[in-house]
Amino acid sequence: MNLGLTLPVLLLIPLAGMILIALGARPKATALWTSLLNLVPGFLASGCVLRSGELFFGPASEPPRELFPFHFSLGMDGLSLPLVWLTLIVTWTAIGTGREGIKREKEYYICLLLIGAGALGAFLSVDLFYFFSFHEVALIPTFLLVGMWGHGDRSGAAWRMTIYLMLGSMVLLVGLIGLFLALPETARSLDWRVLAETLRANPLEVGAQQMVAVLLLIGFGTLVSLVPFHSWAPGGYASAPAPAAMLHAGVLKKFGLYGLLRVALPMVPDGWKDISWIVGLLLTGNILYLGFASLQQRDFRWLLGFSSAMHMGTVFLGLISGTVLGLAGALTLMVGHGLSAALGFSVAGEISRRTGTSWLRDLGGLAQRAPRLWFYLTIAAMASIGLPGLANFAGEIMIFFGSWVAHPVLVAVAAWGVVLSAVAMLRAVKSLAFGPMSPAVQAETVTDLHGVREIWPFAVLTAALVVVGVMPLLVYGPARPVLERLLLP
């Protein structure tokens, strides 16, 4: 059996699910079984990667005679493996938390499957053209989900997301094209394997590296909500339906960080080092500015939105650490944040649906009236603040130790960010558990999670957080050889 064929199968199964839904199959059931079935090729491909280190489908090189040599090729190695699994798990659980009987149900679940398929395509693409294109494909249903099925200021949030992320994508595209055109004509390629080896043997001039690195930072940074390109994120997540917020905050946001690991660090290493001081200033803004902003939030969904953007600063600290430990921590925190953000937004969505509000002042007594929902809310909050034993802690502690020698001041700033996050989350948890419930909320109608059908998405995300927190080697172990190559001179 050619296991390389499992990579396109990972994309074809969601496509088949979308076609079945469009033809009249039950939307949620079809989407749910499709995302569950996709775990099978995920297991097969992962086994091959763990044995041999990598798995590819498609051509291994490109002929230099073409101006833009687009070749559809997919690959998985230790760096993309944990992000593929993050996508599979969050897609499955996001669909599981979706409601049946909502308006335009077919389009709703097709959009969710399309986001998951686009994210998988981006993480699996070896060709930079498809790497970029798959992400753009995943953004379109995100905008639709916020604008059509969102709440609050959904139109404004959708437009802000559209404008910011499209502008960020345009800057990113300019950076990728600039990188391609900076190479000699005979050495041009869009295959990141070929590009990395070519640029390692014949690096670009320092000025060109700096220019490309700045463009990549702005482009990828906007997609990641790096300050000052962040203002689309809190409102977008607060207005999005819960499954859309789970997929975008938990998965799609990792595209920008993965892109920096895959493109910026190995292809313009000197330029990335030269602008690391700029990255340090911006990540300080994420940690401190958004941390203090989190303290001011009184709407739980907005609190989660600011907290999600805030934690990106710590990941960026790992990206400029210059050590394998720091990069491993960044990758582990990417996975941990994806799981905790997905769990947090799923719980927030259930609270809002069952009570009609997400304002902290109105939601006291939740621990008594909905103890299961309260339990998963507590797990999401504890993971977000970095409680030992959960995935975020493992990533953060590796980043702190890996960055200490090169950036002790930034480590101190990041540690202070942990304090701000803890204060904001613990205060929210206290208010939700023990505060008074507003008379506007019909307390007697507030129901808890019941039965396996409602509980399993939250249980799966919680189990994943615990497994990664206890055994982080599952994430960074397969990625270690790739991360070591990123730091080679």
Whether 325 is in a domain gets the answer: yes
Whether 369 is in a domain gets the answer: yes
Whether 32 is in a domain gets the answer: no
Whether 426 is in a domain gets the answer: yes
Q: What integer pLDDT is reported at residue 194 of this predicted model?
A: 86
Q: What are the backbone angles phi and psi of residue 437, rounded to the nearest 5°?
A: -85, 135
Q: What would the pLDDT profile of 320-333 be if each residue is shown by its tens digit? A: 999 999 999 999 99
pLDDT band at 167 (very low <50, low <70, confident <90, very high): very high
Whether 229 is in a domain gets the answer: no
Whether 146 is in a domain gets the answer: no
What is the C-alpha separation between 356 and 142, in angstroms, rounded?
A: 23
pLDDT band at 88 (very low <50, low <70, confident <90, very high): very high
Residue 59 has pLDDT above 70, yes or no: no
Are 54 and 76 in contact by the 8 Å Cβ rule? The answer is: yes
Percent of the chain with pLDDT over 70: 94
Whether 424 is in a domain gets the answer: yes
On average, the pLDDT of the chain sits at 89
What is the C-alpha separation between 153 and 235, in angstroms, rounded?
A: 8
Whether 138 is in a domain gets the answer: no
- The H-assigned helical ranges of 404-472 are 408-434, 451-470
Report the pLDDT averaged over residues 86-101.
92
Residue 57 has pLDDT above 90, yes or no: no
Q: What would the pLDDT profile of 276-305 be if each residue is shown by its tens digit? A: 999 999 999 999 999 999 999 888 899 999
Q: What integer pLDDT is reported at residue 407 of this predicted model?
A: 93
Residue 183 has pLDDT above 90, yes or no: no
Residue 102 has pLDDT above 90, yes or no: no
DSSP state of 479: H
Say if residue 256 is exposed, middle or buried (CB neighbours under 10 Å; 0-12, 13-18, 19+): buried
Provide the residue range defining the domain that includes 479.
Answer: 279-489
Provide the domain count of the chain.
1
Nearest-10 crossing angle of helices 473-486, 451-470: 50
Q: What would the pLDDT profile of 226-264 be if each residue is shown by its tens digit? A: 999 888 988 899 899 999 999 999 999 999 999 999 999
Q: What integer pLDDT is reported at residue 285 of this predicted model?
A: 92
Q: What would the pLDDT profile of 112-155 be if each residue is shown by its tens digit? A: 999 999 999 999 999 899 999 999 999 999 999 999 998 878 88
Q: What are the distances in angstroms from CA 303 to CA 164, 292, 296, 468?
A: 21, 11, 8, 25
3-class state of residue 316 by DSSP: helix
What is the C-alpha separation between 464 and 472, in angstroms, rounded?
A: 11
pLDDT band at 67 (very low <50, low <70, confident <90, very high): low
Q: What integer pLDDT is reported at residue 371 of this predicted model?
A: 85
